[in-house]
Structure 1
Amino acid sequence: MHTTMIARAVPAALLTMASGLASAAGFQLMEQNASGLGNAYAGSAAVAENAATIFFNPAGMTQLQAREASFGVTAVRPSFEFSDKGSQSGVLRGEGDDAGGWEALPNAYLSWALNKDLYVGVGLGAPFGLVTDYDESWVGGAQSLNFEIKTYNINPSIAYRVNDKLSLGAGLNWQRAEAEYERIAAVAPGLATTFATLDVDSDAWGWNIGVLFTPSPSMKIGVSYRSRIEHELEGDLKLKGTLAGRVPQTSNGKARADVDLPDTLIMSVAQKIDERWEMLGDLSWTGWSSIRKVDIDRRSGPLSGVTVQTLDTDYRDSWRVALGANYKLNDAWKLKFGVAYDQAPVRSRDRRLVALPDNDRTWYALGAQWKATKTTTLDVGGAYLYVRDTKIDNDQSAAGRGRVTGEYETDVWLFGAQYSMAF
């Protein structure tokens, strides 16, 4: 890579980090409780077994006791191991080691009956998130070194029992998104490496609604919808290294990227077969097509107001199907089982981003529930997510970021616990 190539690459390099934002929006976290983990979240909008129903279907609060609280945490360990198959990235070399690592996802919920038919509640969770962290010297470092996005969601909710068969629910969502992304902006013989970092955040509002239908004492059907949330992410662009501050395009400053996190629709059923067995089903849709492209604007300096780059992610809407079963051993213990197929929003290998080497996943889940007393319950669960070998051929050579060609070996482990109580 020669000096003119570096000068041309830096302006786009500063804003390529928005690809981290778009790819993070393509990573949804189902782990809003640990009690559903053992069922691979089958029946999520219908089961209403603790206050965590506030997230999946607020109408389910009418199935709870007068006051309930639920607290949980899920440990997530994704693995992204890249094998190079002919990448072309100038002087950059290496396969980046494992870009995954352990993360913890906490949640908390409180439900309160104002009378026998009217309930209010609040939930705390993290519906979207991602971390990928590569070695500095890896071949795709010009596209991504480190990317992290976090969301924090507060969800006040209300539910009303219309009659013995029908309940309605609704909620507001205040959501904060924070993202940090680092990549190599330039590297060449005789020049030290120059790094670009984007640090942005946003606060935004959304809403959700739900319906719970109980046609018989042995069956519950739930439908819920969560709206898009429109984030106007703003923050700092920073360069560190030899080229930092040499020209306006390489100066530190402000930037903005508007990203619509997708809406979701869940349809669920829970059916008791007999005194011991219960079957669960789930079909959910996520509107990832809300992020087909992202315009990145500079917000300060000589380029203020200029769209430096349009990111074409071309995400598609995706579907998830899950089946689960519960087996009641006795009054205290219940065993949980589940499988699911989860479709990724990425259309093809040339659209796949190294910041999010995502692909379709198959869930295999087990769990157990211990009802210690009439008012306290402990759930534990675990799941293995099988991800088929993920091919990538992302060519950003024209912008000076090289071509990453290869294959990821990917899988995910999940372990969680949930404590629920009535008081």
Structure 2
Amino acid sequence: MNHVRLRPLVSAIILTGCSSAAFAQLGTNLSVDMRALALGNAVTADPPGISAVHFNPAALTKIEGLQTDVQGIVANFDIQREFSVPAGYNVFGYSDDPIVCHDGPEVSADLCTDFKGTVKGDVEYASLYVPGLKKMVDLGEGIPLAAPTAGIAYNPPGSKATYATAVYAPLIAGFGAENGNPGNYMGQQVALERITYLSPTMAYQVNDQLSIGGGIGMSYQAIALKTDLRFPNELIGMLRMIDEVVCTPFKDNSDIITDILLLGICNAEEGMNPFSKFGQMELAVEQSLSPSYNLGVLWEPREDFSFGLVYQSAAKMRLKGKYHIDNARSSQELIKGLMSSPTGQILAAILGFPNNVPASESGLVSMDFEYPAHMQAGIKYKIMPDLQINFDVGWTDYNAWDKFRFEFDRQISALKIAKLLSADIGDTSLALPLGFESPWNFGVGIEYSATDRLKLRAGYEPRTSSIPDGKRNTMVPINGAQLFGMGLGYRFDADTDLDLSIGFLRSRDTIPANTSSLSNQTGVNNILLNPYAGLNVKTNTKVTILGLNYRTRW
């Protein structure tokens, strides 16, 4: 399968990050408003209708009387992931990774004799986290989804104040794959959602040139993740070497002396392998009410020029939910072997290892999470009476996503073992070191009035990556990106407008072997979410969004 096309509603991809992390700017503003999408989101000085609640509340003063906005969005999402072997590939002398190696159990060589070449691990379908069900739901391959959003605004006759509220999704994304997909070690299913379900907002016209506005957004936030786990690092490669080389003579004729000298490791019925599945982790955290606020200013000194400024506040949350971990037999056998030897028990006590590893573990989990603040400013200028250009610059504080730290309600066996290799792992905690940065970005849009009724639009927004080079990964497959938009607006009468828009976002990323500690860097301490150690990784993401917006004044 060369690629898989998905048709979910999306405005972001993360991982997660966590997810939701979002997934270069995690797809921000891809599905808030269709007219804004056609103009490259350069609308701070020229916000569209009731969506001004999000883009610049001050522009609500442009609305007269009672107005409603309804829009529907259909999205096509195509994520391709590739893995390949560089020259000299090995992890502690082993290269028979089943992801990239054809060799079966009948081949006893430590080094692979038949590599597969480029291996596909494409996303296969969309996944969304459903609040009521409290679980991720797979939409199925090729199933389109039309998602509506809506808003209402009212400007009382003769009043300088306008009141509005809207339902929209600043950030919603998810993807998944079937069992056995090579990409499942960086998230078999991932979902990151922020849905604003109530946004009471007021704008006030100070004078003919100046308007101000502000509003409170009441949102639902969720992060969900299901991922296979494996740790292809040097230490586990050494444990495999001990099992296959040192322990082989003692497998069937061990005694108390060998148990003491070899710490009981050789009593394990299944040894550790850097390329084997270490287990699977599934968790979901959410918060039903996450408030934030938007503030905006709109200055229109002339008919052909306007300036807009908006600040969207951060939202700090304490997300809570549940987790479930399935542990592979190899980790259970490692501890069982240590506990069979007096010296192994002493070593386990010194290292803080558990006395046993259960087949599965479940409980409660929580995390502190901050939805990042955003600031944007822009201008609208009419070059000619029928030709208008918009230009915006914006900044998002993704530096707040330095780490996603999960705190569990009890000690977890796998974490007690893994903590030896990473400061980001504790007996009851797990931190995903994302290290996001806070970039500046710009967007430009052009609107041409072909007739009194018809307007043609085009926009471009290059998106600088918020992910540093050393943290790139397949769980967040939108890195540096380009967004292209096109659309048209048609006025049926003085009170009815229709906007039809299409947007296309593309993002390609190449992660050479040993360059990212969240993807493919080798070494002893690169244990946490580094499942493709030593491999070359590539991602290719394409998002196509088609939307229709219907605005009516009453």
Q: TM-score, normalised by structure 2?
A: 0.67
Contact in 1 for aligned 2:16/2:190 (Cα 8 Å): no
Give the corresponding residue for 2:176.
Answer: 133
Structure 1: which 5+ residue stretches go unaligned? 1-16
Counterpart AA for 2:149: N
What's the counterpart of residue 23 of structure 1?
21
Counterpart in the other structure of 1:111: 153
Amino acid at match of 1:20: C
Residue by residue over 1:157-186, the C-alpha shift from the partner in whole angstroms, topping out at 9 and shown as x without a partner, is 011111111111001111111222111146
Name the counterpart of 2:220: 176
Query: After the TM superposition, which residues 91-102 of structure 1 pair with which residues of structure 2 at under 5 Å, given as runs?
Result: 91-92=98-99, 95-99=120-124, 101=126
Asked whether 1:331 is paired with 2:452, we answer yes
Equivalent residues in 2 for 1:194-233, closer than 5 Å: 194-202=279-287, 203-233=289-319
**CA-to-partner distance for each residue in 1:287-308, whole Å, 9 max, x for gaps?**
1001111222102467999652
Distance 1:422 1:390 in 2: 49
Larger proportion of helix: 2
One-letter amino acid of the structure 1 residue matched with residue 224 of structure 2 = E
Q: What corresponds to 2:541 in structure 1? A: 410
Alpha-carbon distance change, 391 to 106 in structure 1, aligned in 2, over 3 angstroms? farther
- Number of matched pairs: 405
Give per-residue Cα distances to partners, 1:186-215, cap 9 Å, x unaligned.
698999995321122113111110000011
Correspondence for 2:373: 263
Residue of structure 1 equivalent to 2:163: 120
Deviation at 1:341, TM superposition (A): 0.9
Rounded to whole Å, the distance in 1 between the matches of 2:147 and 2:437 is 26
Mark the CA change 1:256 to 1:38 in structure 2 (over 3 Å): closer, same or farther. Answer: same
Letter in 1 for 2:463: D
Aligned to 1:12: none
Residue matched to 2:190: 147
Could you tell me which residue of structure 2 aligns to residue 35 of structure 1? Answer: 35
* Number of the residue aligned with 1:316: 437
Aligned residue for 1:371, secondary structure, equals strand
Residues 362-390 of structure 1 show CA distances to partners (whole Å, capped at 9, x for unaligned) of: 12221000101110111001122232344
Alpha-carbon offset, residue 97 of structure 1: 2.5
The corresponding residue for 2:3 is none
State the Cα RMSD in Å: 3.0
Q: What is the distance in 2 between the residues matched to 1:192 and 1:408?
A: 23
Query: Which digits, 9 at most, give the CA deviation of each residue in 1:202-253, with x for residues without a partner?
Result: 1311111000001112222110010011122211102357669974694111
Structure 1 segment 271-286 matched on structure 2, within 5 A: 271-286=381-396
How many angstroms does 1:105 deviate by? Answer: 5.0
CA contact (8 A) 1:212 1:220 kept: yes
2: distance between equivalents of 1:148 and 1:19?
8
Note closer, same or farther for the CA distance 1:259–1:104 as it changes in structure 2 (3 Å cut).
farther
Structure 2, gaps ≥5 residues long? 1-14, 101-118, 127-143, 232-269, 333-355, 416-425
> 371, 379, 398: which one pairs with 2:527?
398
* TM-score, structure 1 as length reference: 0.86
Give the structure with the higher percent strand.
1
**Change beyond 3 A, Cα 1:322–1:18:** closer
Residue 327 of structure 2 contacts residue 358 of structure 2 at CA under 8 Å; is this kept in 1?
no
* CA distance 1:288–1:400, shift in 2 (3 Å): closer
Tell me the SS of whatever aligns to 1:78.
Answer: strand
Mapped contact 1:229–1:260 kept (Cα < 8 A): yes
Query: Residue deviations 1:46-86, cap 9 Å, x none?
Result: 21341211110111011111211111122232322112122
| Counterpart amino acid of residue 195 in structure 2 | Y
Q: Which moved more, 1:94-103 or 1:371-380?
A: 94-103
Contact 1:86 1:406 in 2 (8 A): no
Give, in whole Å, the separation in 1 of the partners of 2:204 and 2:78. Answer: 43
Q: Distance in 2 between matches of 1:37 and 1:354?
A: 25
Q: Aligned to 1:141, what secondary structure does the other structure show?
A: helix
Q: Is contact 2:16-2:475 (8 Å) kept?
A: no
Counterpart CA distance in 2 for 1:105 and 1:231 is: 26
Q: Would the aligned equivalents of 1:198 and 1:238 in 2 still touch at CA under 8 Å?
A: yes
